[in-house]
Amino acid sequence: MTELAAPLALPRRDPALIDYLSTRRSAPAQALAGPGPSDEDLQAILRIGLRTPDHGKLFPWRLVVLSADTRAALGHALQPLADDQPDPNKARAVLAKLTAPPVTIMVVSTPVRGHKVPVWEQELSAGALAMNLSHAAFAHGFSASWITDWYAYDPRALGLFGIGEGERIAGFIHMGTLECPPMERPRPDPADKVVRR
């Protein structure tokens, strides 16, 4: 746990940050190639992620950095489970998203049940952690992709990932470098999603 020593800085207008947040776009995970974050970058990215807000200081999540070797082994072990998915060919194909990227962090939601902080809020915090890790990757000059895929829900796959009782995979944050910038995707019109009351 970090010490509570010095006051933090107040926000200041930051055009570069505004520009980043206005144009940020996920990468297709299977297109992420090297270079990925160095060990030093990864430490900084993880620290940024661990600053994520949560109600009650429960820190209701944990992170697993899945090495390339571990992901290759998982990809192999998941192959037979892919055959039982509704679309086995697609289920096998998407395993490339797990194995191709240089760096992958698995975000696991670990809510404390029976606590006065609702589980929903604790799970929201896991999602915020996933997003913060993505932002941290981009801030270090890498592209990132937050995905789940079928193996985040298949009970047998969860065993392979070491997911315990009451835990859920909030997502895999894949990080690396894209050869070409991604295309924009449709974004909602504020008039359709925002009301002022």
- If the CB atoms of residues 26 and 70 are measured against ligand FMN, the closer one turns out to be 26
Name the residue number minimizing CB distance to ligand FMN: 26
Token match 């801030």: residue?
139
| Contact residues for ligand FMN, defined by CB under 6 A | 25-26, 146-149, 171, 185
Q: How far is the CB of 75 from ligand FMN (least distance, A)?
A: 15
Minimum CB distance to ligand FMN, residue 40 (Å): 25
- Residue nearer to ligand FMN on the CB measure, 33 or 115: 33
We find the least distance from the C-beta atom of residue 171 to ligand FMN, in angstroms, to be: 5
Least distance (Å) between residue 85 CB and ligand FMN? 12
Nearer to ligand FMN, 41 or 149 (CB): 149
Q: Which is nearer to ligand FMN, 27 or 103 (CB)?
A: 27
Least separation in angstroms between residue 79's CB and ligand FMN is 18
What is the rounded distance in angstroms from the CA atom of residue 67 to the CA atom of residue 102?
8
Closest to ligand FMN by CB, 187 or 197: 187
